[in-house]
Structure 1
Amino acid sequence: MGRIDVFVAPRPNPALIKIMTIVNRVVMLRGVPGFRDLLPFNRLAGLRGVANVRHIDFPAGDEQRLKACCGGGQATFITPNHPEFFTDWMIDKEIVSRVSPLAASWATHGVVNGLGRLMQKFWLANNLIAQIPGNNEAAKSHSVDWALKGHGVLLHPEGSVGWHGNYVAPLLPGAVEMGLEALQRGREINRDFKAWVAPVVWKLAFTGNVERALARECAYVEKSLKIERAGDGSLPERVYRIYSSLLSRDEQACGLTAEEGASYAGRQQRVLATLGRQLAEGIAADAGLDLAELLRRSRRWLREGKADAEEQKRVRELAETTQRIQRVGPWAFSNQTITQEEIAEHLKRIRNDYCKGSLRDTINRFVPQPAGPRCAHIRVPEPLGLHDYDGSVDDALAELRSRMQAAVTRIVTDLEAAGGFISYPNPFYHH
């Protein structure tokens, strides 16, 4: 195995972590006052704030709720939602700096191990835990050990970024499973030991009208993907047209012809059904399995590497295409209106999934730039005390997800009531 696939335990450096907290707050999030709104300085991401999060709305009561379940005599696994890449680490770091400064954070092995030995040393000193696909036992064991010392461990239960800030995806079981192991080990020494899974949610909202910036980004995507703009269509219609055109390409690749008048959701399901049958055939699985199970089995099939290179490539492409098309979920069709924030998420998802090959696209994938200044609204739902919980792991995940979704929905509802969103008719709903 290469270094990227080998787990190395973090070696946290408290002094570096404290310095990086300040750097994160100024350079990565808020920017430098006096420069962040002045041309030409506001075009420099480090002066403007790379993630351009000017304001942090983190009520004292929520902060205290999270802080209360961190510290000695208890193990805490902090589980934020995962609506945006790069900004996730910056906001998560701001949160843990306030409640558990030496908390460890899970991150993809491509970041921790894949950027060279010097950067690996830097990330390990910042207490990042490398998530190794298909081989996470060492990372889990280290996480439990660290949590037992009274420091938090942060990981995203949704898994990868979905670019859907209003919707919490189904959760993965890692945090609950590690929490239960920590509880069992802690109780061997202290019968009053407690273990928590502490959900956190944050929602980003623009502080002003960013339609012009979004239109420029939309034009870049249209040009990059060779999709002709239709007349003077509105910004949401242009985004919808991009996705509809991309789906047409997938239909053609599957040998399907779009039915006249069919909705985007209906067309999407036909393509996914076809891909599912092809994927089941490729890995010799039951065609009646749902897509989630087929994708799990395909990942295992690929890790085992029993087929020749050509067949592995075909199965990998089928699985990647299926996952890519699924990333526009039912949440996209559920509301009659769409906000500027949701349009921005669509554009970032398209750029991440489809716009590749140039340096500009590569940089955008790792450090996506927002269309304008934003406020991060952070809330902490009631933590789940595993020491007082008798349900199954699946029940715990359902409860955590319910609490997280309810908290996100409350943020959105409150912002809507205060006139905090600019909205348009949602073409995914109406077409």
Structure 2
Amino acid sequence: MGRIDVFVAPRPNSALIKIMTVVNRIVMLRGVPGFRDLLPFNRLAGLRGIANVRHFDFPIGEQRRLKAACGEGKATFITPNHPEFFTDWMIDKEVVSRVSPLTASWATNGVVNGLGRMMQKFWLANNLIAQIPGNSGAAKEYSVDWAMKGHGVLLHPEGGVGWHGNFVAPLLPGAVEMGLDALKRGRESDQHFKAWIAPVVWKLTFTKDVGSALARECSHVERSLKIERIAADTLPERIHHIYTTLLSRDASAYGVPSDQHASYAERQHDLVLELGRRLGQEISVDANSVDFSELLRRSRRWLKENADDGQKRVRKLMETIQRLQRVGPWAWAKPLTTQEEVAEHLKRIRNDYCKGTLRDTLNHFAPQPAGPRCAHIRVPEPLGLHAYDGSIDDALVELRRRMQEAVTGIVTELEAAGGFISYPNPFYHR
């Protein structure tokens, strides 16, 4: 117990899990009725609801589909999308409380093991599985064992938070690999044993116009990063100006020329390409012969195998490339952007660039939304590994397709109902 890099098996306490379900619903999500909209109480996150998710659009048919994939004689790995930090586990917990309350959930070792022994015991009693970087064997073993008992295991296949609610990033293979392992072991004693990968997606929308609150947050970011505001700019233009300024700073730090008249997408592409070339040189890999995901994977392996002075340069290049790539093609794909996407940009900037103050440290661990929200939750058709003959890579492509289709369906449905406040998108690039 106590060491951040040592796996300790969860010790789920059903009574505590039930209590925390209620606490999560009131304190973390919905807030306390009668106080959450009343000054000055609505300024207190616990009374307002820390994640400020007031409403759940989670149709009963969707809940039944997820519940049908869980239970005895099945190993189920629940795989939600990952658009927002902190709110992720709160919504995930609400979802599993309705379908499989004793579901185990993966979390970083910094959360499970890094907050002291008392908090470690608390998280283990809540059935959190600590992901130990570079040594996940014990966590996977526990996950397979627990899933085979019919309770379910939840993990985010996108990996880290991207702050892009309309887009599902490429998926990691962990859930599928564990599902296949569980299926193989289950079939040894029960030829009818089944293994499911059950995707879940959720999309958060504000329930009112929160433009003023977003503008205040943008002002904080500008002050924190010492970026001068252009008075005539709209809120999305201010965010675009912040990002272009940060891009120029990164290019200048590495001595890379940057065409100020080109679009953000073009300038970002050129900078990432050059930094990738330099990273390849550092680790003796031709960057033109591999894609960026493979280049970063080889760089991580290089860091493990080498302890020379080049470590600092390689690590810095990797971190810069990954940070730049967190603004992806989805950002400039459409001529309009919504206030939800504006909020995501601000949270991503604060997470990646704003450091050193208590306010930003607290925001990093528990980001505060600009106003009350609704969570629109859908359950794409689960993938039955017991009836699937494709490769792991094919399974990931299919899962991502189902998840993206469900997210796009939510957005299309809300757009048809006039549910978004939109602005011209300064990132838009044909």
Residue 198 (structure 2) pairs with residue 198 (structure 1): yes
Q: Distance in 1 between matches of 2:216 and 2:275?
A: 34
Q: Distance in 2 between matches of 1:313 and 1:342?
A: 34
Q: Aligned runs of 1:22-421 on 2, under 5 Å?
A: 22-288=22-288, 289-304=290-305, 306-308=306-308, 310-421=309-420
CA RMSD, 1 decimal: 1.1
Specify the code of the residue in structure 2 equivalent to 1:98.
R
Q: Distance in 1 between matches of 2:327 and 2:147?
A: 35
Q: Is the 8 A contact 1:254 1:274 kept in 2?
A: no
Q: What's the CA shift for 1:314?
A: 1.3
Q: What's the CA shift for 1:303?
A: 2.2
Q: Distance in 2 between matches of 1:66 and 1:78?
A: 9
**Secondary structure of 1:338's partner?**
strand
Q: Is the 8 A contact 1:335 1:426 kept in 2?
A: yes
Q: What's the CA shift for 1:294?
A: 1.0
Q: What's the CA shift for 1:430?
A: 5.4
**Secondary structure of 2:54's partner?**
strand
Q: What's the CA shift for 1:133?
A: 1.1
**Secondary structure of 2:315's partner?**
helix
**Secondary structure of 1:5's partner?**
coil
**Secondary structure of 1:343's partner?**
helix
Stretches of 4+ moved more than 3 A in 1? none
- Deviation larger for 108-117 or 77-86: 108-117
Q: Distance in 2 between matches of 1:290 and 1:406?
A: 25
Specify the code of the residue in structure 1 equivalent to 2:386.
H
Q: Is the 8 A contact 1:254 1:271 kept in 2?
A: no
Q: What's the CA shift for 1:232?
A: 2.1
- Deviation larger for 258-267 or 390-399: 258-267
Q: Distance in 2 between matches of 1:142 and 1:71?
A: 17
Q: What's the CA shift for 1:257?
A: 2.3
Q: Distance in 2 between matches of 1:44 and 1:359?
A: 16
**Secondary structure of 2:428's partner?**
helix
Q: What's the CA shift for 1:134?
A: 1.2
Deviation string 1:384-403 (CA, Å, 9 cap, x unpaired) is 00011000001100000000
Q: Is the 8 A contact 1:199 1:404 kept in 2?
A: yes
Q: Distance in 1 between matches of 2:87 and 2:402?
A: 22
Residue 11 (structure 2) pairs with residue 3 (structure 1): no
Q: Distance in 2 between matches of 1:360 and 1:150?
A: 42
Structure 1 unmatched runs, 5+: none
Q: Distance in 1 between matches of 2:285 and 2:404?
A: 34
Q: What's the CA shift for 1:22?
A: 0.2
Q: What's the CA shift for 1:291?
A: 1.4
Q: What's the CA shift for 1:260?
A: 4.2
Q: Is the 8 A contact 2:80 2:156 kept in 1?
A: yes
Q: Distance in 2 between matches of 1:102 and 1:262?
A: 52
Q: Is the 8 A contact 2:164 2:344 kept in 1?
A: yes
Q: Distance in 1 between matches of 2:259 and 2:232?
A: 26
Specify the code of the residue in structure 2 equivalent to 1:96.
V
Identical residues among aligned pairs (%): 76
**Secondary structure of 2:287's partner?**
coil
Deviation string 1:53-76 (CA, Å, 9 cap, x unpaired) is 000110000000000110100000
Q: Is the 8 A contact 2:56 2:375 kept in 1?
A: yes
Q: Is the 8 A contact 2:10 2:127 kept in 1?
A: yes
TM-score scaled by length of structure 2: 0.98
TM-score scaled by length of structure 1: 0.98
- Deviation larger for 173-182 or 290-299: 290-299
Q: Distance in 1 between matches of 2:99 and 2:384?
A: 17
**Secondary structure of 2:217's partner?**
helix
Q: Is the 8 A contact 1:105 1:153 kept in 2?
A: yes
Q: Distance in 2 between matches of 1:391 and 1:23?
A: 42
Q: Is the 8 A contact 2:2 2:113 kept in 1?
A: no
Deviation string 1:167-200 (CA, Å, 9 cap, x unpaired) is 0000000000000010010010100000000000
